[in-house]
Amino acid sequence: MQKTLFENENVIKPQNATLLQCIVSGCFSSVTYKQAVDFLLPKHYSGRKPSITYSFGYFENEKLKAVCTFGKPASNSLCIGVCGKEYSEKVFELNRLCVDGEIEIQLSKFVSWCLNELKNKDLIVVSYADSQMNHNGYIYQATNWIYTGMTKSRTDKYVEGGKHSRHYDNENQNGLRKYRSAKHRYIYFATSKTKKKEYIKKLNYGIEPYPKGENKNYKLGTFIEPIIIDTNVAQNSH
């Protein structure tokens, strides 16, 4: 006998009925950290575990087909930069959105559902579209995010093993830096209308028109090799 969606050991049953919505083609649900990571690692081009506080999934025929995760940004300065120090603890990042093949719904419908589930958390959500991957952020445009322009390209201290630069050990400096491309920055206020007005007044970024251009998708399981700059070579060349 085939198991139903929430009898399946690979699916977590939501604690609250409002965390589940079934539509004609499938179901939206919260998922566990392990479910999210097991789904993302073999598929997402970054090949690295994100910080995950909230994670959601879209299921078709009891199979997990898409995952969307939210977590605290690694950079405290980023959290402060959005609406100031007073609201920095409310800043979270939509840090992963990944789909396994074709799905029977518009991806924006899944993202909209996730954002709606977070409204009672009173969050300021930031996310980025990577210009290096030829992404313009159309999914954010379709779900009514605010566009605040592009970040500047930069380099971070490079840590081997795919770890974030926050794990860098100053006592073991290797002189390597990782190139970070410029990204389109989007903001979404997952909160009440009253709070949204308050946060918009505090927003430290200007609101700009949505960018346009051709989006290009990458093949699932394809990982992008980081661009590493050896500062030791640069220093020795002088």
What whole-number distance in Å separates Cα of residue 23 and Cα of residue 5?
A: 13
- At 168 the pLDDT is 45
- At 5 the pLDDT is 42
Q: Please, are residues 155 and 229 in contact by the beta-carbon 8 Å criterion?
A: yes
- At 182 the pLDDT is 84
pLDDT tens-place values along the chain, 238 residues long: 333 343 444 444 433 334 477 877 789 999 999 999 999 988 866 667 889 999 999 999 889 999 999 999 988 999 999 999 999 999 999 999 999 999 999 999 999 999 999 999 999 999 999 877 777 899 999 999 999 999 886 566 666 655 554 444 454 456 776 656 689 999 999 999 999 999 999 999 999 999 987 665 544 444 445 556 566 665 554 4
What whole-number distance in Å separates Cα of residue 110 and Cα of residue 96?
A: 13
Topology at the third CATH level for domain 17-155+182-225: Aminopeptidase (3.40.630)
- At 25 the pLDDT is 74
Q: For 214-218, which contacts have Cβ atoms below 8 Å and span 24 or more sequence positions?
A: 214/134, 215/134, 215/135, 215/136, 215/138, 216/133, 216/134, 216/135, 218/45, 218/133
- At 81 the pLDDT is 96
- Exposed, middle or buried, 99 (CB in 10 Å: 0-12/13-18/19+)? middle
What whole-number distance in Å separates Cα of residue 156 and Cα of residue 173?
A: 13
What whole-number distance in Å separates Cα of residue 11 and Cα of residue 175?
A: 44
C-alpha pair distances (Å), 216 with each of 103, 138, 142, 148, 213 = 18, 11, 17, 22, 10
DSSP code string of 85-146: GGGGGGEEEEEEEEE-S--SS-HHHHHHHHHHHTGGG-EEEEEEEEGGGT---HHHHHTTPE
DSSP code string of 31-66: --HHHHHHHHTTTSTT-SPPP-SEEEEEEETTEEEE
- At 152 the pLDDT is 81
Average pLDDT, the chain: 80
The 3-state DSSP composition of the chain as helix, strand, coil percent (nearest 5) reads: 30, 25, 45
